[in-house]
Amino acid sequence: MKSELLKISKAMVELLEKQGITIATPIQNEIIPAIVAGRDVIAQSETGSGKTLSFAIPIIEQTNRRDGLVALVLVPTRELCVQITTEFMKFSHGKHLGINSVYGGVSIYNQIKKLKNANIIVATPGRLLDLLERGEVYLNTIRYLVLDEADRMLDMGFIRDIDRILKKMPQKRQTLLFSATVSKEITQLSRKYLQDPKNVALASAVKPEYLRQTYYQTTPEKKMPLLISLLKHERDLALVFCNRKHVTSKLAKKLFSFGVHAKCLHGDMSQAQRERTTADFRHKKFNVLIATDVAARGLHIEDITHVYNYEIPKDVDSYTHRVGRTARAGKKGEAISLVATGEEQKFFKQILFKYGGSITLKRVNDSELPKIEQPTSDTGKKHKTIPHSEKKEKKHQKRWREKWMGMIKK
C-alpha cells in the first residue's frame, strides 16, 4: 500500500504488509482518505470487500492510548463483533489501545471490568444499551461512530435501540455507515444521522465470472437425497442455509448419518458453542456448516467454495447476502438453490427476475440419488411413531371403556 495516497503512516503500511496486505481494495482507496479528512461516509459494499480495514485503519491511526473512549462500532451480531474487535487489535499492534467487544450471551461483569480502559468499543445494540442503563459506560466523548451492516441491523429490529444509543453521544462526531444494500430506510437513516456524507457505491465483491449460480427443481421428498448427493462430491468448505433454527439441527444430524461431516450454527446455541463451531469450520475441522441467515452474519471465511439454499430465502436481499459468502478474493464459487415447494417457487421467481438469466437450471438423474428409507409397517404404509405418554393414555382409555361396557352389560 502507498501511505501517501491513503494518508496513513509508514508504520501502518509495514504492519499491513506483514499480514500480506500490499494492495488496497477499491473501497479502501475511496474511504480511508475521506475518513482521515474528517468526512462522514455512507458506503454500499458487500462483506469481503475490505470494508472493516477501511474504517479501522484511520480510527486506529488517529487514536492514542490516553484519549479515553473515542470510537464506537455498532454491529448486528456477536460473531461480527468478535471479528471486528480482532481486526482492530491486530492492526493497532504497538499502540496499546484499549479495544473491547460488548455483546450478549456472556458475563456482563467481565465486560464491565474491561470497559474502564476502553478507547474503542465494538458492540451489539442490546448489550450496549444494558451497560448504558446501568451507568457502566458513557458515550459523551465519542468522536467516531461506525454503523456496520446497517441494513441487517434494521432487518433485526435494532432501529429504536440505535436511536436511543445515538441520543447519548455528541452531535459533533464523524459517522460512518456501511450497508450491503441501500434501501429507502437506509437512505432515511443516513439523512438523519450523517452530515454531508461522501457516498461510495461499489459493485458487488462477487463477480459474475467467478460466481456460478444454479438451481434444481425438486420435490420435498427428493430434496434431502439431492443435497446429500451434491455434498458427497469433492469440495473445500460448503455453507448450507436454512430459514429456521430447528431445520439446521435436523439437517446436520441427517447429513452426518450419511457420512457428510456437517455441523449447525443457530441462535439457540451458547456463545461458546457458536464461537467454537465457527473456529472449527474456519480451520477446516469439518467442511459443511448449516446455518440460518442471522447466525451466519459476520462470518468472514475466504475459502467457502459452495453456498446451498436448502430453504429458499423470502427476499432477494437475503439471497444476495447468502451467495456473497463464496467467490471472494478472486476465487471461484458456486451458489446452488433447491426449489421444492410452491411457496419456494414463488420466492425464487423474484430472485430469478432480479438476477436476469444469470441463474441456470440444472437437472439430476433420480437414480443417482441415495435412498432414504422411511420406516414402514408390514402393510407397506409409513409407520407413525406414537410417544410413550400417548400409548399410556390410550391404554388407560381402553381399560375404562372395558369397565364401562362391563357395567352396562350387567
Q: Are 28 and 6 in contact (CB under 8 A)?
A: yes
64 and 196 inside one domain? yes
What is the CATH number for 319?
Answer: 3.40.50.300
102 and 229 inside one domain? no
25 and 172 inside one domain? yes
350-399: per-residue pLDDT in tens? 999 888 788 999 988 877 787 776 433 333 444 444 444 444 444 545 55
296 and 332 inside one domain? yes
195-231: per-residue pLDDT in tens? 999 998 865 545 667 899 999 999 999 999 999 999 9
170 and 230 inside one domain? no
Tell me if the pTM is above 0.75: no
As given in the structure block, the three cell numbers for residue 257 are 448419518
Q: What is the DSSP letter of 67?
A: G
Give domain status of residue 321, yes or no: yes
CA distance 292 to 12: 37
The mean pLDDT value for 187-198 works out to 91
Q: Are 71 and 291 in contact (CB under 8 A)?
A: no
195 and 298 inside one domain? no
Domain residue limits at 58: 3-201
327 and 191 inside one domain? no
Domain count within the chain: 2
187 and 217 inside one domain? no
CA distance 179 to 235: 30
Q: What is the DSSP letter of 382?
A: B
With H, G, I as helix, E, B as strand and everything else as coil, classify residue 376: strand
CA distance 402 to 322: 60
